[in-house]
Every structure is written in structure tokens, then in C-alpha cells.
Amino acid sequence: MTAGQLRTTEGNRRRYDSVLDTIGNTPTIRINNLGPKGVDLYVKFEAFNPAGSVKDRLAVNIIEAAERSGALKPGQTVVEATSGNTGIGLAMVCAQKGYPLVVTMADSFSVERRRLMRMLGAKVVLTPRAEKGLGMYRKAVELAEAHGWLLARQFETEANAEIHAATTAREIINDFAGAPLDYLVTGYGTGGTLTGIARVLRSERPDTKIVLSEPANAQLLGSGIPTERGPAGEPMSSHPAFEPHPIQGWTPDFIPAVLQEAVDKGYYDELRPVPGPVGVEWARKLASKEGIFTGISGGASFAVGIEVAEKAEPGSSILCMLPDTGERYLTTPLFEGIAEEMSEEEITISQSTPGYQMS
């Protein structure tokens, strides 16, 4: 589109049967103001999903897979452990389909996530932060067994990577049809995004290098130490390399079974650590320089994408996954130092004309 040209819209000639039909088909967006010259840098912005994150894809497939198999009965309660995004997605899906939802979540995650889930009708049971991700996981298992609820099992279920192979990967293939895609950069939470996309890219775009990232102070994969698992792939203990980190949604204190497939099958070409503060820095730059408002996890992926871009061959094309919106990080380090009151410069602007000034 040329400067000065009026933007118009005509609708997509579709009326959706429910909010769930709007999941997916998120945009791939060129980065214009950040990054080195001579490299094409893109982001896939998952905040365009209706509940604001990539986990909407997983949430709808978990529920519909359970419906198809008969594991989920009408009116049955669903329970799941989550750092927030999967719970928010499940709350949206369960609200639309009429299932009660109970979420277990460590009390270290941002308060706005709890409120969003409760707004969508879910019950949120908090667990002590000292028990980490494994504690909230075990609480969900306990509740499911005690009450006969359906445990969503996002960390183990085949429904996780399956939906990313069927939707996220296909969107990327179509978005880059006839064009180069030299690198894909992503982090991991459950590992579903990586595993599902890589299944397709390894087959259809084998020249695309996949770069995986994890927090610098919680390098579970980088440590080379495996997670001890039970018979269903569930974690049995907290990983010794884990430390609390600010990249909410990334890297629980165990290596999920869904991610283990990517490890075992060599689905990524490079593993790069990224410090949490660097994720904050680049999330802020994306907002202020590109108008793209993502969370700390998106900033961390993009930071690694910048590292890749700086060393890539001229003309290279790089795609970074941005998992969610920055709006669910209001009480996190992402917003530290972002003032509520006017700055001196803003006061000066206000005083430059005589009217409507704050006293």
C-alpha cells in the first residue's frame, strides 16, 4: 500500500457460527523498523487468536478430541494446570461449549491471568509458588482423580502437536509459498508449537533451519539432563536445571512429553538461551518501534530472531513466533517503569496551551 492511499475493508464474506471458528489464520507480519538491513524479518502474531494467544489452538483441539473419543461427557468438568494462556483458551472454549472448568495455577503468575479466566467463567485454584509447575500439575491430577473430572493433559496429549501440524504449520507453509523461509525461531512451553510445526517443515521445507530458545537461567534442554517420567509421560520430579524466570508461559520445571518428540527426532537445528530481561527489552521495542504488542515470551523469541538475523546471509528470511498479547503482563516486569501519571515532558505539552489542565 502506498503512502496517502486510503485503506478500505469489505469483510471476509463469512459469518462465524461461534467464536471457536475464528481460531487460527493469524497474520505473518514484516518487521520494518527493527533488525539489520538486507534481511527479511517476520513475526507470526498469535495474539490475533480470539482469546489472545497461540494456546487457543491447543485448547479447542483438546476439548474436541475428547468429545470425539467420548472421554468428555456433556456437562463434565475439565481441569488443567496452566501458567495462564492455556487456561484462558480453555476457559473460552468451555464457556462456548458449556463445560465447567477448573484451572490450577501457581500464585507466581500474573494476577490479570487469573482474572481473565474467572471473567470467562473458570474457577482458579492457586498453588504455592515454591512447588513450581510440578505442584500445580499434581494438584490438577489430584482434583481429576478425586472428582472424576477430565484432565486436559496439555503436556502429554497428542492433541497438542496435532493441531499445530494441522493449522499453524499449514499457515506458515502457505504464507511462504514460493518464497524463501530460511529460519523459524520459537521458544517452548509444552513444546506443541515446535513439535507440530517441525513435523511439517521437516517434510515440506527441509531447508528451513529451526532455532529453539529457552530461558538463560532455566536451560533444561541445554543441561542434557532428562526428565524422569511416569507411564503416561507425566513428569515425576522437578528438573534440577530449573530456576524461576520471568518468561511466563515458557519452560516449566520439567521437560514436557510433547517436547520430548522434538528432542528425540532432532526437530531443531540450534538451541539458544535468552535472558528474561532481554525478552522484556525486545517486547518493549516491538511495541514502541513496530506497534506490535506482545508479551515477554514474544520478546524473547524476537530477541533470538535478531541474533539470527545479525549473522544470517543477506537476503535471508526469518520468522519468529510471538505467542500472545502484552495485555496479560500488566503486573510483570514488562510494565515496570511504565508510568500511570504524566511525566514532566507530558506536563510541559499540557501547559503549552491554556485549557483543560490537571490541577
Q: Which residues are the active-site residues?
A: 55, 297
Task: Check: CB of residue 300 under 8 Å from CB of residue 213.
Answer: yes
What residue spans of 47-157 are helical by DSSP H?
55-69, 85-97, 111-119, 132-147
Task: Check: CB of residue 80 under 8 Å from CB of residue 104.
Answer: yes
Residue 12 makes CB contacts below 8 A (sequence gap 6+) with none
Q: Which residues does residue 125 pair with via DSSP β-bridges, in sequence order? A: 104
Best CA proximity match to 54, nearest among 220, 136, 168: 168
Amino acid identity, position 327: E
Going by the DSSP 8-state scheme, the letter that residue 227 receives in this structure is: P
Task: Check: CB of residue 109 under 8 Å from CB of residue 249.
Answer: no
Q: Using CA atoms, how far apart are residues 175 and 170, in angstroms rounded to an integer?
A: 8
Residue 174: in which H helix or E strand, if any?
helix 169-175
Best CA proximity match to 162, nearest among 196, 188, 204: 196
Q: Using CA atoms, how far apart are residues 316 and 184, in angstroms rounded to an integer?
A: 11
State the cell numbers at 59: 485448547
Q: What angle do CA 162, 323, 21 make, to 5 degrees?
A: 55
Q: At what angle do helices 111-119 and 85-97 cross, to 10 degrees?
A: 10
